[in-house]
């Protein structure tokens, strides 16, 4: 037993000596980090002369670790101007990059460097190099399609479902590349706003105050070499915030000398409408044209009539003007011969209108037809939704002669769109044939739309021919609805 204890003590002693020796033994130091190596592809070939937009590929390797990222930069030597442009190092995880090299001189020498970075943070001390020449990169040329210089436009203090802002359309030309972006700013305020589209809608908050007045819009193009047009396209516009401080403006498109017997002068037509609506202002379209926006925007209600111009309406050519007024919150009454056809020239009846057309979207006409051009079938109209019945004014001699024979020709019946109300229905004269009667009798020939932003009343016939007393009752109801 004593012998075993002695052996045990000797073993413990030996173990202690072994541990002491091990603890005092110095370990071998870690091998230093080996820096990575970088290579660059042979495209483009060194010494080539190429365009400024260049794709370069590279790679890296690390013998004692792995490559985590790369840094690259380039130095441009302008060979004609004699100066130099040095870019900052850019860090990337990519192994290729398409770069728009600065190429403002006629000939530019490009010195490109790229170096790998390993997992220890070590950088290749000898970056891979690619050297080539680039020819001059030309800047794009920007232009503005719309609005036009000094064009007057409505503006509202906030956007609505119908008025979303000032629409600006632009484009560019680039002789040696491709435009990839456009920038715009308003009244010189703030930084450029960049987008890829060729249209921008400017909201009220982007304009300097006051909103009513002159404003300047600038647009610049940027091409795929990174060059921005140094001379922005500019357009000056005049904005007007509608006040609607007056009631009624009438635009009279009844051309002088075109009146039927009984209404032989333009003054008599004016008198008829003055009696019905008592307008604040009447403008003769053929002598004065369209009023500017700062005039139009003062009136709550625009009444446009073309009651004898049988086939020569201009309102169809002015639909953009009408759209702006309606989007700004205006109210509109249209009356005349073949008004619907003026917005759809060349179309034959019956007709169905696409949802995005002016007739469907703004006038809320889904479809229309037109009564025959001889042997007038329209004798009167039955009122609906609070409107009185109306009959023709037989004191106008032409109504009793060819081609009317006691009724009006070329009256539109209307297929109304959503949210409209029929206010008049077509009533045939007694001698109308069954074939015509089956198509037109009791069909809508005037409609009313009361919307969230604008209101419309559309007549499929000229109200100039209505019995004056009944026309006055009808006019009172129009004003009750719209004012």
37-135 and 141-240 share one CATH topology? yes
Categorize the per-residue pLDDT at 347 as very low, low, confident or very high, splitting at 50, 70 and 90: confident
CB atoms inside a 10 Å sphere around CB 362:
21
Categorize the per-residue pLDDT at 294 as very low, low, confident or very high, splitting at 50, 70 and 90: very high
- Residue 221's DSSP bridge partners are 182
- Indicate whether 150 pLDDT > 50: yes
Terminal Cα distance for the chain, rounded:
124
If you average pLDDT over residues 146-166, what whole number do you get?
Answer: 96
- Indicate whether 178 pLDDT > 50: yes
pTM score, whole prediction = 0.78
HSE-up of residue 262 (Cα within 13 Å, Cβ side): 17
Is 23 in a helix, a strand, or coil?
A: helix
Burial of 192 (0-12, 13-18, 19+ CB in 10 A): middle
CB 426 within 8 A of CB 411: yes
If you average pLDDT over residues 127-151, what whole number do you get?
Answer: 95
DSSP structural state of residue 444: E
Q: What is the pLDDT of residue 1?
A: 45
Fold of 246-482: Rossmann fold (3.40.50)
38-92 residue pLDDT tens:
999 999 999 999 988 899 999 999 999 999 999 999 999 999 999 999 999 999 9
Q: What is the pLDDT of residue 8?
A: 62
C-alpha distance from residue 298 to each of 2, 106, 209, 323, 324 (Å): 124, 57, 20, 16, 14
Q: Which CATH class is domain 37-135?
A: mainly beta
Q: What is the pLDDT of residue 364?
A: 96
Q: Report the C-alpha gap between 387 and 220 in whole angstroms.
A: 55
85-135 residue pLDDT tens:
999 999 999 999 999 899 989 999 999 999 999 999 999 999 999 999 999
Which range has highest mean pLDDT (236-245, 246-255, 305-314)? Answer: 236-245
Q: Which CATH architecture has domain 141-240?
A: Sandwich (2.60)
CB 326 within 8 A of CB 454: yes
For the chain, the structural domain boundaries read 37-135, 141-240, 246-482
């Amino acid at each position: 037993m004593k012998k075993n204890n002695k052996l045990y003590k000797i073993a413990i002693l030996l173990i202690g000596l072994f541990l002491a020796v091990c603890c005092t033994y110095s370990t071998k130091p870690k091998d230093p980090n080996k820096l990575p190596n970088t290579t660059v592809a042979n495209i483009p070939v060194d010494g080539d002369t190429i365009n400024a937009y260049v794709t370069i590929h590279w790679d890296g390797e690390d013998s004692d670790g792995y490559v985590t990222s790369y840094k690259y930069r380039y130095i441009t030597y302008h060979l004609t101007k004699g100066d130099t442009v040095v870019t900052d190092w850019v860090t990337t995880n990519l192994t290729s990059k398409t770069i728009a090299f600065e190429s403002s001189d006629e000939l530019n020498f490009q010195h490109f460097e790229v170096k790998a970075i390993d997992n220890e943070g070590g950088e290749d001390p000898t970056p891979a190099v690619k050297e080539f020449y680039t020819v001059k990169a030309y800047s794009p040329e920007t232009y503005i399609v719309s609005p036009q210089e000094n064009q007057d436009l409505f503006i509202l203090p906030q956007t609505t479902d119908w008025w979303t802002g000032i629409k600006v359309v632009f484009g560019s030309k680039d002789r040696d590349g491709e435009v990839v972006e456009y920038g715009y700013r308003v009244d010189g305020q703030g930084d450029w706003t960049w987008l890829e589209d060729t249209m921008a809608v400017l909201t009220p908050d982007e304009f300097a105050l006051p909103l009513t007045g002159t404003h300047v819009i600038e647009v610049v193009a940027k091409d795929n070499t990174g060059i921005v047009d140094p001379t922005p396209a500019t357009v000056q516009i005049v904005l007007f915030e509608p006040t609607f401080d007056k009631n009624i403006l009438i635009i009279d498109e009844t051309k002088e000398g075109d009146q039927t017997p009984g209404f032989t002068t333009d003054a008599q037509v004016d008198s008829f409408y003055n009696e019905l609506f008592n307008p604040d202002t009447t403008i003769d379209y053929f002598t004065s044209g369209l009023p500017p926006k700062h005039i139009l925007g003062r009136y709550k209600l625009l009444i446009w009539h073309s009651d004898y111009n049988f086939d020569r309406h201009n309102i169809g050519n002015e639909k953009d003007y009408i759209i702006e007024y309606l989007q700004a919150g205006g109210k509109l009454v249209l009356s005349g011969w073949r008004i619907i056809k003026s917005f759809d020239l060349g179309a034959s009846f019956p007709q169905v209108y696409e949802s995005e057309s002016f007739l469907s979207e703004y006038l809320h006409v889904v479809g229309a037809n037109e009564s025959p051009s001889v042997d007038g079938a329209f004798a009167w109209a039955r009122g609906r939704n609070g409107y009185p019945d109306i009959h023709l004014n037989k004191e106008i001699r032409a109504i009793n002669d060819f081609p009317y024979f006691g009724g009006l020709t070329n009256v539109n019946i209307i297929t109304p769109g959503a949210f409209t109300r029929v206010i008049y229905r077509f009533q045939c004269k007694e001698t109308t044939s069954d074939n015509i009667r089956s198509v037109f009798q009791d069909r809508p020939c005037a409609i009313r739309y009361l919307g969230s932003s604008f209101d419309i009343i559309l007549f499929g016939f000229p109200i100039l021919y209505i019995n004056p007393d009944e026309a006055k009752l009808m006019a009172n109801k129009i004003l009750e609805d719209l004012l």
